[in-house]
Amino acid sequence: MITWENIGLTNGWSVRSGSYAARAGITDDGSFIAVAGEITHSAITGTNPFEGYPIGKLPVKAPAKTQDVPVVVTTKTTITSGSLYVDTSGNLTLYGLPQSTETVAFSALIPAA
């Protein structure tokens, strides 16, 4: 079981209509951090962090090692990939997004230690 907390979105990001909120959580045994969401942004021109408060400030501890999580990226004409970088402070940053990114979807379990 995972207890979820919503991630605060910033820099023009919002939850995609009809989808779950952007969330972070931790497994009952504390061994994994979970991140999941489907978020949108208009007119992406570069890397845009989207988290107002590091996940470590939620009732979810930050991972012991930095992690790159693959994300699915859609534009008006393509589906491609990018990355979600999770650092040891719990900060989340999206990178490798093409211009015109409209939607980013992610779901991952990250080792907590």
pTM of the model: 0.81
The stretch 41-48 carries a mean pLDDT of 63
User: 59: pLDDT confidence band, cut at 50, 70 and 90?
Assistant: low
**Under 8 Å CB-to-CB from 35, ≥6 apart: which residues?**
7, 23, 24, 55, 69, 84, 86, 92, 106, 107, 108, 110
Average pLDDT of the chain, as a whole number: 81
The stretch 78-107 carries a mean pLDDT of 86
The predicted pLDDT at position 58 comes to 61
CA–CA distance, 13 with 8 (Å, rounded to integer): 9
In the chain, what percentage of residues exceed pLDDT 70? 82
